[in-house]
Amino acid sequence: MTFESIFMTAAIIAAVAAILAACVATFRLFRKFDDLIGTDRKGRTLSERLERVEHQLWENGGTSLADRVNNIEMHVLKVSTEIEIIKDITLGLRSSSASAETKPQTKTRKKAS
């Protein structure tokens, strides 16, 4: 064997290894695209998954995320209104009872004896 034949064999092996590496990288890339665009583990396509997300974004009668947020907002407004009413009543009672208990007293001077 000559030096040239050893060099040619090594070059061929390196070229085959590079081609195999490129094929593996391409296969992995296509597989990622297929996972993104194709079906997921449950067999749903990208459009089916987007429909499910869209279903949660728009009001649809009670089952969407938007409906739940609106429901929570309505309850928060109701509770805050009730708290304001209770606060006004308790402060009103406290101020009226405080004014009834403390009548203005007139000071009288003691006479010098």
pLDDT tens for residues 24-66? 999 998 888 776 777 777 888 878 888 888 888 888 877 888 8
Candidates 85, 86, 82, 60; CA nearest to 71 is 60
Q: What is the pLDDT of residue 100?
A: 53
Q: How many domains does the chain have?
A: 2
Q: Which residue has the tokens 């040619």?
A: 8
- 28 and 57 in a single domain? The answer is no
Label residue 2 exposed, middle or buried (CB < 10 Å: 0-12, 13-18, 19+): exposed
Q: Is residue 103 part of a domain?
A: no
Provide the token pair at 43: 């067999």
Residue span of the structural domain in which 55 resides: 47-96
Q: For the whole model, what pTM was predicted?
A: 0.43
Q: What is the pLDDT of residue 77?
A: 95
Dist CA 45 CA 6 (whole Å): 52
Per the DSSP assignment, residues forming a β-bridge with 39 are 45
Q: Is residue 110 part of a domain?
A: no
Q: At what angle do helices 46-57 and 65-101 cross, to 10 degrees?
A: 20
Q: What is the pLDDT of residue 2?
A: 82
Provide the token pair at 17: 């290894």
Pick the more confident residue, 103 or 15.
Answer: 15
Q: Is residue 108 part of a domain?
A: no
